[in-house]
Structure 1
Amino acid sequence: MDFYGFEYGYFCMDVKQNHEMLLLANTIHFTFSAGAFVTVTPETWMASEVCSPYSRLYFVLSGEGHLEYEQQNVILKPGRLYLIPAGLTFSFGCHAPMEKIYFHVNLFRPDGYDVFFGCHHILETPVDLHEMISLRDLFIHEHDFSSAVAVKQMVFRHLADFLLLVAPGSQPLCQYSPPVRDTLDYIQQNLSLQITVCFLAQRLFLAESTLAKLFKKEVGKTIGAYIDDLIFFRALQMMVGTGETIGKISDALGFCDQFYFSRRFKQRFGLTPQQYRKRQKATFGM
């Protein structure tokens, strides 16, 4: 953080600047993949072992439902907001009609990870019912830019509150060295299983060991593990958000063939790509 004194005529101002905060704020990537106001019933809202590449937000207006994960049971109640983290496997259902607003969202860190991916708990917080009704009406009835900004601001504010629950306290701003920042950018923009540490190091005229050690120190994992994480997260997104065949997804991500991709996918998620896509299609609008 920098401190400067500026003089304007007879006035002198102390200006407190934080360039690191501005740089980080400009890297925030927040997206919606779905959203709706729905009334669900026991017949229409029930599924087991669901795992999504996005976080689910449930604003519950009336009725009651339940979520189950890792031998825990969460009761959905009116006037509460629930966040189901991306990557968490859970089951859901209800015993009577329930009204809710749901959004499927991703909030990405500068390193390309969803901030809630890897969180092993469903989060919840109270929300005033009047705010929920206002959000519902804005989302259903308005179609202008300012209303879209208002909806995004309301959702983003609650995501920020949840983020504090996941990582409480003051977090240092993440500053990557130029080689690591360049490596992260290249991997994210050219994601493929064919990317090697040797190739990445040659791009930067560095020794493999130098780049590998620097990356592990700053990112917290090896380059290979980082690429694997993003590869399979992107695979989940493509299977949910596109109509591409499994073969084309496999090719796009740099796998030698569809069978190797399917084997690696099942090792990681416990389902074949076809099984995963079928299950996600059945629960996407929920």
Structure 2
Amino acid sequence: MNIEKSDGLLQNVNGVRLRVLDGGHAEGAREWAARVTNPPYARLYYICGGDAYIVPEDGHSMPLEPGMCCLLPVGFSFRYACRTRMEQLYFHIRLDDDAGGDLLSGGRMLTGMADSGRIRRLIELAKSDDLLAGLYLRQELMADILGLLELGGVAPGRARYARCVREAVSYIHGNLSMQLTVAGLAAHAHVSESTLEKSFRAQTGMTIGRYIDEAVFSRAEELLRHTELSAAQISETLGFCDQFYFSRRFSRRYGMPPQRYRKSCRI
């Protein structure tokens, strides 16, 4: 018997997870307008109707025409608005690998077309509470994401980390807290602190402390946008000493306190 296997098969199939943070069928008028700066997740838009548009940082306005399917990657800053009305199916998504990275990070906006019948089917799936509908929806979203990446000539890559760095990153994302320490991570990875710090910085481009900060505040943003947790609850969940320290750190980073940030969030 001859069995052919790929060394990376299981890691590629099982090590990537599509997460839908938020989504729904939205209709609005001229109140649909805001600026998005360095978002921690990607956006997938299916345009149903209206005269909405976005303006990326390069300043060139792009109309969102009915039938368009748009993928705006993690970190893509832009302004959006509509002249009279907008209607769309939207999803806030992450495509995380097992090292804590998002495969949809960076790059440019990708666009394609979806027929009206397909968009209507996706809307019905998104409105359903049925488990099977949710599984079908995830399958359809993944197919569209891959189609847009292929159409745009984008090949997502995964970071290749040493074992100790991979285990530290995985532990950070599984136990996200400001209370994490280099000593604790090194003990978990069964290496010395100096070995872990040196390898971590060389392979991720940042110190362990900065990596934890980035991950914690990205999670805080996500909780503010997509849950009803109070600032005090988020502060406790993420291991800050108190909510006032959390609010000060958040304000320095985003230019506004957590509650105001939550109110400023739009689709």
> What TM-score bracket applies, with the shorter chain setting the length?
0.7 to 0.9
Q: CA deviation at 1:36?
A: 2.2
What is the rounded CA distance, in whole Å, between the counterparts of 1:55 and 1:168 in structure 2?
A: 15
The structure 1 segments of at least 4 consecutive aligned residues displaced by more than 6 Å after TM superposition are none
Q: Structure 1: which amino acid aligns with 2:176?
A: L
Q: Structure 2: which amino acid aligns with 1:147?
A: A
What is the rounded CA distance, in whole Å, between the counterparts of 1:166 and 1:114 in structure 2?
A: 18
Q: Structure 2: which amino acid aligns with 1:263?
A: R
Which residue in 2 is equivalent to 1:216?
Answer: 201
Which residue in 2 is equivalent to 1:201?
Answer: 186
Q: 114, 122, 128: which one pairs with 1:135?
A: 122
Matches within 5 A, 1:164-183: 168-169=154-155, 171=157, 174-183=159-168
Q: CA deviation at 1:260?
A: 3.0
The answer (yes or no) to whether the contact 1:113–1:230 under 8 Å persists in 2 is no
Q: Structure 2: which amino acid aligns with 1:195?
A: L
The answer (yes or no) to whether the contact 1:58–1:100 under 8 Å persists in 2 is yes
Which residue in 2 is equivalent to 1:69?
Answer: 56
Which residue in 1 is equivalent to 2:147?
Answer: 161
Query: Who wins on radius of gyration, i.e. which is larger?
Result: 1
Q: 1:245 to 1:133 in 2, by over 3 A?
A: closer
Q: CA deviation at 1:77?
A: 0.8
Q: 1:115 to 1:270 in 2, by over 3 A?
A: farther
Q: CA deviation at 1:75?
A: 1.2
For the residue of structure 1 that corresponds to 2:164, the secondary structure is helix
Q: 233, 251, 254: which one pairs with 1:269?
A: 254
Q: 1:120 to 1:257 in 2, by over 3 A?
A: farther
What is the rounded CA distance, in whole Å, between the counterparts of 2:19 and 2:156 in structure 1?
A: 25
**Range with greater deviation from structure 2 (188-197 or 255-264):** 255-264
Q: Structure 1: which amino acid aligns with 2:54?
A: L
For the residue of structure 2 that corresponds to 1:232, the secondary structure is helix
Q: CA deviation at 1:230?
A: 0.6
* 1:80-104 superposed Cα distances (whole Å, 9 cap, x missing partner): 1112334444332212333321122
What is the rounded CA distance, in whole Å, between the counterparts of 1:274 and 1:128 in structure 2?
A: 39
Q: Structure 2: which amino acid aligns with 1:131?
A: R
Count, aligned residues: 266
Q: Structure 2: which amino acid aligns with 1:270?
A: G
**Range with greater deviation from structure 2 (80-89 or 57-66):** 80-89
Matches within 5 A, 1:218-237: 218-237=203-222
What is the rounded CA distance, in whole Å, between the counterparts of 2:81 and 2:156 in structure 1?
A: 37
The answer (yes or no) to whether the contact 1:39–1:97 under 8 Å persists in 2 is yes
Where do 5+ consecutive residues of structure 2 fail to align?
none
Q: Structure 2: which amino acid aligns with 1:60?
A: I
The answer (yes or no) to whether the contact 2:76–2:107 under 8 Å persists in 1 is yes
Which residue in 1 is equivalent to 2:13?
Answer: 25
Identity %: 33
The answer (yes or no) to whether the contact 2:52–2:65 under 8 Å persists in 1 is yes
- Is 1:149 matched with 2:135? yes
Q: 1:182 to 1:138 in 2, by over 3 A?
A: closer
Q: 1:50 to 1:207 in 2, by over 3 A?
A: closer
Matches within 5 A, 1:8-157: 14-42=2-30, 44-49=31-36, 52-70=39-57, 71-117=59-105, 119=106, 121-140=108-127, 144-157=130-143
Which residue in 2 is equivalent to 1:10?
Answer: none
Q: 1:150 to 1:227 in 2, by over 3 A?
A: same
For the residue of structure 2 that corresponds to 1:17, the secondary structure is coil
RMSD: 2.8
What is the rounded CA distance, in whole Å, between the counterparts of 1:179 and 1:78 in structure 2?
A: 48
What is the rounded CA distance, in whole Å, between the counterparts of 1:57 and 1:231 in structure 2?
A: 24
Where do 5+ consecutive residues of structure 1 fail to align?
1-5, 7-13
What is the rounded CA distance, in whole Å, between the counterparts of 2:208 and 2:153 in structure 1?
A: 24
* 1:228-265 superposed Cα distances (whole Å, 9 cap, x missing partner): 11111111112123333223322332223333322322
Which residue in 2 is equivalent to 1:248?
Answer: 233
Q: 1:192 to 1:79 in 2, by over 3 A?
A: same
Q: 1:81 to 1:170 in 2, by over 3 A?
A: closer
TM score, norm. by length of structure 1: 0.80
